[in-house]
Structure 1
Amino acid sequence: MAGIIDPELLAAHEDPSLRFLAQLNTADPSPPLEGSDSTDFDDEDLMDPSDLSGIKDVSALMKIINIGRSSPTKQTQNWTHMPRCMTLPEERAALLFAEVVEIVDIIKQKAQQRVEEWKVSENLKKSITTFAKGIILSPTITMYRGNGPAEKVLHAMQTLGIRDMPHPDDLSNMQKVLTEIRHQLTIARNLVKTRICDSIEEDSATRNIGDLAMALTAGTPIQPTVQLLVRLAFLRWHAVSYASLDETQWWPRVDDTLKTWRSTCPTELLLTKAFNKMFDDNKLTYGNPTESELQMVNIRDLPNIQSAIDREASKLDTSRSGGAKRRRVN
């Protein structure tokens, strides 16, 4: 009976799209091709897709369309022009379905690209390394530990439009960037402290603070300034005065000194005087930086990256350290 779907026919077409077309063909059968006993074509026997007027078997038509979509050749490159050659509803339905399937495939591919895990690129890692080391060496930094430095590094990178950064609204991937920044800050702190401790030794090649500054800024866009030397003298004083403290206690001790000095010194002038006193003592003990090969740069001539880092470092809010509690050190 017309309109009744043959179960055997449905079983032969497991693909839902072919079942749909099989229903159309069963409900409104078309006369067989004249002069042909079979419509079971091999791929190489398919006719030019621009000449479909003689095809009335939908399965064969779908075969032509799928070949034209998946592996275009000189014969099948014109499959997109099929609508001009089609007159039967079955033909147009087959092509429409093929177009819909192609669009769905494209959407799935795009969706898959979006859900693929975003990773911090190698170029971005290099930039993060530079910014992290830059802020640890910044003479304007007021806090070395806690969440503040990482947030300021991120803001400096966004301000300068560093490549490969995720969109600011992409909170998940921004957290990945912050995680990498915190990791590089830890590495930078360890490096700086190790270099400073090594420079104290009598036979150290970086005993002169000018040589120490050159070693720490080598391979980076960070330029050595008088202010940097003053800050290195401050850190070196802590390396000598608190030599017994381990890594988890030493940097918090430095932060405590910075906070205490800023709350104790009533004016910026007195604070500067305290830093300069340490610098003068350092020169007497380890040598004057003018005796080294260091070429210092005026603060007005700093590269943009260093200026941006110094600006952000000076804005750190020391009232919220965000770091873990440490044991009290007398």
Structure 2
Amino acid sequence: MKLTESRYISAAFAYSSIYGVYHLHDVVQQRNILGVSLISDIRDCITHPQALQFGLDKGWSVRVVNRPQGTFHPKILIGSLGQQNGIPIDARAIIVGSGNLSKGGLLSNVECGLTLRKQTEFAAAPKIFSRLWGFGTDLTANMLADYAVRFRDRNANRSSIDLVALGVSDESKLVNVGVMRQSPAAQPSMKSSVAKAAWAGLQSFTGDYTFQLEFPRDAGDVLRRIVTATGQTPKVTVKCDDGIDRPMKYAYYPHNGMFRLNIPNDVPGIPAARINRNGIALIEGTGDANSPMHIRVSADQNFVRETAGKSFLLGTWGKTPTRLYGWY
């Protein structure tokens, strides 16, 4: 019994990542698979929105499960000669295991699996998968957009350690900022269009009267969306770490995606940043129309490591010749 005998794949996994669906697509191409049906959980906000989007873009039948009673948690892949409405017909391979459709589940974790080899066992495949398929709902563009926002909110509140442990990230370990400066960013798991936080390194800035800091490209677009939604222009009220709301002038340059914020010198962390050219400025949307953004400026190593590390794990970062930046 080999997967090469199959022409269709029916897969049910609790969580699917970008690496996981890329790997599945490689199998599809190598084995001349004609169609794929995939179902995954979205209740726990671990399955990546862009993994689901990738499946839709490739013409797969994609369903998602959001059960209030608990997580949809199977891991099964069925190869078959046919498929109807996502359900396998005439199975030729059944693989059941503990690993998710993720880099950890496929490569680095300790997992176990069972391959069913008897023809009599194949007969149960349509019934098994039909029941799993029935838990889901066909994924639509609107559903995916709503899920992307929930994914953003949940993971913004998770620590970098949790992102690794839960398998939200395809990265298997944390990395330090020095390594990020030498490495390219991974495929982002979160589009900047749904992010609500952006950060930039403090190694370069301009201005004497105010601290003029630029947030490049995707990070800049995140901040542009936050302030545009409030109608505050060309100044925005920003809540600072000392609890004071301060008006700050900003400008957005669409030709290069840069967002420049003029930060007053009395904002906590700015005097040290001027002297040491070190640390990170993190801006988060607050949802408050009166003070729509909160800023924290700090060179504290735990803060820098956690902020940059979260973007590293989500693939939501970039770099200029002088500094790193990111969003989530």
TM-score interval w.r.t. the shorter chain? under 0.3
Question: Whose strand proportion is higher, 1 or 2?
Answer: 2
Instruction: Please report the TM-score for the alignment, with normalisation by the length of structure 1.
Output: 0.21
Larger radius of gyration: 1
- Larger helix percent: 1
Structure ranking higher on relative contact order (CA contacts 8 Å, 6+ apart): 1
